[in-house]
């Protein structure tokens, strides 16, 4: 009985079909999976909204093919994510999968994705395994390799002369990757390396330990609701303003509206921000605000770029995407052909981005809060794991 109930929940999760076409029979079928409920729903929804905007701006088509998008909520649970990918590949027979959830869910799905040959594009994750020896010719990350953000902040904090840094992240693959990346470029002392539960809401005990540590700065990685709760609690405890705070994804376009003034002074690394000055980004921001009445986040930018890449690849294939190996090769080549909203972009041999990593500081501007570009620590950066990928 318990197994049947779980199965029905998964079927309900993947049965939400969004048709981006004028008829029920779409010529190109795309499955989207991500966290669409719970504390991290903003992360999944922004990826989906960015992708759907990219499709809508092309008249509901990719490569001149009508598109059917099947949406699925992985609930931030690897077992649910595995069921979704199984149904996308076996029951729905999608031509491509976009989203793929958090790094723990991507890792759980890697064997099935590679075996299926279906083009799969992660828009919010970049685990080290997938970038290295477990890379697949049909598996892409249009977003980032997790370590890159930590590497960018590690380099920035090393350049700024910090001697004793306190590290914090949730206890899952992306959190571990971020801190590994940080330590690759930062050569000073580590006051502590603390991993908290995924989805944790109360950080009072950890903040007390941080205050007593004697560290001269904090580097943290928390996304979605975790980032909102942790940053607000840091501010309430008087940490922000006294201790330099650096982050990745903890304060970004997805959660800054919820954090507001508590985030002022926090420095974050990202591969995209609304302040980046290029024509593609300006057009994206304008269209996103008009459609959704809010500013996009980096997650939305990833989804939007994924649509652009698929558009170029499907065009090259003249809509005939049944040759999965050729389609994957077209997706790889398309990375260098799009006008990415983030600036420089192309896929490396491991199907991960070569791109800039920027540093932004949250500032107050006439009663509102926004990011200010302060540095580009890593220019057209390649992840360290590419050399282990046999592709």
* Strand residue runs (E) in 179-310: 189-196, 217-221, 245-248, 267-270
Only one residue has tokens 């600036």, namely: 343
Q: What is the pLDDT of residues 264-300, one digit of tens each?
A: 888 999 999 998 999 999 999 999 999 999 989 999 9
Shared fold status for 2-144+277-351 and 148-270+357-384 = yes
The first and second tokens of residue 334, run together, are 């398309």
The DSSP line for 10-21 is HHHHH-EEEEES
Q: What is the mean pLDDT of residues 128-150?
A: 95
Which residue, among 231, 153, 164, has the nearest Cα to 192 in the 3D structure? 164
CATH 3.40.50.2300 fits 2-144+277-351, yes or no: yes
CA atoms within 13 A on the CB side of 317: 27
Flag whether pLDDT at 5 surpasses 50. no
Instruction: Give the whole-angstrom CA distance, residue 58 versus residue 78.
Output: 33
pLDDT in tens, 62-110: 999 999 999 999 999 999 999 999 999 999 999 999 999 999 999 999 9
DSSP state of 89: I
Per-residue pLDDT band for 18 (boundaries 50, 70, 90) equals low
Task: Kindly tell me the number of DSSP H helices and DSSP E strands found in the chain.
Answer: 13, 15
Question: Is 3.40.50.300 the CATH number for 148-270+357-384?
Answer: no
The rounded distance, in Å, linking the Cα atoms of 33 and 70 is 8
- What does the CA dihedral 266, 271, 275, 280 come to, rounded to 10 degrees? -170
The mean pLDDT value for 226-244 works out to: 91
CA–CA separation, 361 and 353 (whole Å) = 24
Mean residue pLDDT across the chain? 91
Closest of 326, 333, 178, 153 to residue 246, by C-alpha: 153
Residue 264 to residue 228: CA distance in whole angstroms: 13
Nearest residue to 130 via CA among 380, 338, 353, 310: 353
Other beta carbons within 10 angstroms of residue 211's beta carbon come to: 16
Domain map (residue ranges) of the chain: 2-144+277-351, 148-270+357-384
CA atoms within 13 A on the CB side of 220: 27
> Rounded to 5 degrees, what are φ and ψ at 177?
-60, -45
Alpha carbon distance 44, 11 (integer Å):
18
pTM of the predicted model, to two decimals?
Answer: 0.86
For 141-168, what is each residue's pLDDT tens digit? 999 998 999 999 999 999 999 999 999 9
**pLDDT of 6 above 50:** no
Based on C-alpha coordinates, what's the Rg of the chain? 20
The answer to whether the beta carbons of residues 281 and 345 sit under 8 Å apart is no
Residue 212 has pLDDT above 60, yes or no: yes
43-57 average pLDDT score: 97
Encode pLDDT of 331-352 as tens digits: 999 999 999 999 999 999 999 9
Percent of the chain with pLDDT over 70: 93
Residue 387's pLDDT band (cuts 50, 70, 90) = very high
Phi, psi for 377 (deg, rounded to 5): -60, -35
Calculate the dihedral angle through the C-alpha atoms of 179, 182, 184, 185, rounding to the nearest 10 degrees: -170
**Which single residue is written with the structure tokens 């690897």?**
78
């Amino acid at each position: 009985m318990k197994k049947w109930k779980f199965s029905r929940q998964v079927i309900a999760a993947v049965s939400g079909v969004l048709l981006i076409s004028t008829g029920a029979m779409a010529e190109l079928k795309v499955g989207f999976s991500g966290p669409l409920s719970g504390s991290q729903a903003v992360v999944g929804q922004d990826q989906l909204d960015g992708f759907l905007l990219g499709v809508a701006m092309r008249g509901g088509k990719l490569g001149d093919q009508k598109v059917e998008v099947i949406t699925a909520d992985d609930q931030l649970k690897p077992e649910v994510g595995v069921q979704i990918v199984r149904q996308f590949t076996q029951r729905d027979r999608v031509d491509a999968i976009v989203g793929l959830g958090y790094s723990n869910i991507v890792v759980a799905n890697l064997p099935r994705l590679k075996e299926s040959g279906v083009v799969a594009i992660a828009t919010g994750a970049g685990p080290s395994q997938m970038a290295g020896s477990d890379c697949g010719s049909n598996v892409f990350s249009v977003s980032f390799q997790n370590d890159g953000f930590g590497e960018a902040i590690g380099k920035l904090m090393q350049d700024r002369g910090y001697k004793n840094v306190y590290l914090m992240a949730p206890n899952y693959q992306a959190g571990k990757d971020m801190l590994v990346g940080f330590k690759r470029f930062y050569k000073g002392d580590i006051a502590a390396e603390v991993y908290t539960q995924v989805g944790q809401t109360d950080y009072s005990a950890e903040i007390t330990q941080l205050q007593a540590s004697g560290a001269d700065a904090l580097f943290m990685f928390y996304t979605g609701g975790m980032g909102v709760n942790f940053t607000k609690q840091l501010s309430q405890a008087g940490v922000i303003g006294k201790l330099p705070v650096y982050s990745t994804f903890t304060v970004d376009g997805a959660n800054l509206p919820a954090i507001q003034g508590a985030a002022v002074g926090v420095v974050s690394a990202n591969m995209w921000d609304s302040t980046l000055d290029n024509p593609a980004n300006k057009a994206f921001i304008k269209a996103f605000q008009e459609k959704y009445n809010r500013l996009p986040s980096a997650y939305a930018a990833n989804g939007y770029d994924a649509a652009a890449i698929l558009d170029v690849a499907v065009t090259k294939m003249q809509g005939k995407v049944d040759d999965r190996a050729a389609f994957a090769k077209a997706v790889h080549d398309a990375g260098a052909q799009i006008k990415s909203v983030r600036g420089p972009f192309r896929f490396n041999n491991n199907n991960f981005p070569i791109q800039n990593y920027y540093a932004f500081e949250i500032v107050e501007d006439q009663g509102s809060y926004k990011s200010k570009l302060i540095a580009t620590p890593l220019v057209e950066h390649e992840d360290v794991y590419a050399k282990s990928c046999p592709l």
